[in-house]
Each structure stands twice: as C-alpha cells, then as structure tokens.
Amino acid sequence: MPELNFTPTSFELLEGLAANNEKAWYEAHRNDFEAYVRQPFAMTLELATERLAETVVPLKGGPKTMFRQNRDVRFSKDKSPYSTHVSGVLTPSGTKAEKEGLVYVQLEPSGGLIACGFYKLKPAELGTIRDKIVEEPKAFAQVLEDLAVAGLSLSDEDKLTNMPRGYEVHSGHDYADYLKLKSFMTQVNLGRGAWLDGDIVDCIVDYAKGCASLLAFGR
C-alpha cells in the first residue's frame, strides 16, 4: 500500500489552523497543508475505494468527494474563513450529490471520525425509510442486529421528541423510537493513531462493511 504521509506534522498543521483561522496563516502554510493533510486524505479515500470495489458496499471517493477547506460564511454568524477539519465522503456514485447512503470521513486535530448512513433526510426521503420500518420490522431488526455485531448502533442525536406527523398511529410499534429519527447514521470516533499508524484505510473498509445492511435497507 502506498505511504499515506500522515505524520505528526499533519496534526500540527490542523492545530495551527484552528489557532490561526485567517487567510494570512493559511496562505503561508498552504503547500504544507496540501502535502501533509489534504493529499494524504484524498489518497485515503482512493485506497478505500479500491478495497471496497469487490465488496457488497462498492463505495467510491477521492479528491472530488472531499469538501472545500474554505467555508461558505455568507449565512453564518461564524465568519472564520476555513474549516479546521478535513472531510470527504464515499458514495455509490462517487459524487457528493448522493442520496443512496454514504460513508463520511473526517480528520481533525484530535483524530477524527467515520460515519455511515443517511444524514438529515428530506421529509419524503424520511417517509420512505419510516414506512419500510413499519412494514418490514423483521428486516429492520436484522439491520440493528448486523450493526450490533459490528459494534455499532444508530445515533439518536437527530431525533424528534414526539412521533412524526402521520405516524402517531404507530406509537406502539416495536421500533417506534426509530421512527422519530431524522437521520439514520452510525458513528465512530478515531484517535490520531488510526492515521499515524497507517490503519485508517482498514478502519474505513471494515466500517463500511459493518454498515452494509443499513445502506441496503435505506435504499
């Protein structure tokens, strides 16, 4: 496997950007940031793509599925010009415009995270998954079991307090609590070691495989 080139310098640069979130600092460190942070991250997505190609989750990504370092501050109270993390996605189409489920990867000063599933869905998209949970409880139970085997579970971070409109009649359903979710996501946090020890591609591949049932169910 090619060397990813994540080093202590990668994290020093991320810490530096967090402490000096301004154009002058970033421009002075742009070349190093590309060499030690963004380029290795892009290669990570590409290597994960190669490894996933022949699996049940052939997700794809690379430089084009990374998010920009510059922030869109037009409608934000926070006018910091740059994101202090680097992130990107792996999707079925290999583009960021994807509604078929994804794996999201984030590198940050403390390490980062991997997340998988369906994030902040529109009402119609939510309805499709909610209806499937109601109509196919055994299939959804299998999703939960497969996630548990992989040491994962659906996050309840983005959850309604009450039953969603139109689903009140299902308040007694075995999986009523899951009908309240607005995102169907799992997440695992990473330390710096995953990047520095060269394990990050393995982490992404194993994580994607562990989420295969969730991705299939949501489609």
The verdict on residue 2 lying in a domain is: no
Q: What was the pLDDT predicted at 75?
A: 72
Q: Could you list the pLDDT tens digit for every one of the 219 residues in the chain?
A: 566 779 999 999 999 999 999 999 999 999 999 999 999 999 999 999 999 998 999 999 999 999 999 887 677 777 788 999 999 999 999 888 767 789 999 999 999 999 999 988 888 889 999 999 999 999 999 999 999 999 999 998 889 999 999 999 999 999 999 999 999 999 999 999 999 998 999 999 999 999 999 999 988
Tell me if 90 is assigned to some domain: yes
Q: How far apart are CA 46 and CA 63, in angstroms?
A: 8
Among 85, 64, 4, 47, which Cα is nearest to 208's?
Answer: 47
Distance CA 118, CA 103 (A): 9
What is residue 1's predicted lDDT score, i.e. its pLDDT? 52
Q: What is the 3-state secondary structure (H, E, C) of 109-176?
A: CCEEEEEEEECCCCHHHHHHHHHHHHHCHHHHHHHHHHHHHCCCCCCCCCECCCCCCCCHHHCCCCCH
Q: Can you tell me the distance from the alpha carbon of 97 to that of 33, in angstroms, rounded to the nearest whole number?
A: 26
Residue 188 in any domain: the answer is yes
The parent domain of residue 67 ranges over: 8-218
Asked whether residue 111 is domain-assigned, the answer is yes
pLDDT at 2: 60
Residue 154 token pair: 């659906």
Q: What is the count of structural domains for the chain?
A: 1
CA distance 116 to 104: 6
User: Could you give the CA distance from residue 116 to residue 185 in angstroms, rounded to a whole number?
Assistant: 5
pLDDT on residue 4: 75
Q: Which two tokens stand for residue 32?
A: 């190093």
Residues 173, 106 contacting (CB under 8 angstroms): no
- CATH number of 190's domain: 3.30.930
In a domain, 26, yes or no: yes
Q: What is the pLDDT of residue 154?
A: 95
Let me know: does 98 contact 39? Beta carbons within 8 Å: no
Q: Is residue 1 part of a domain?
A: no
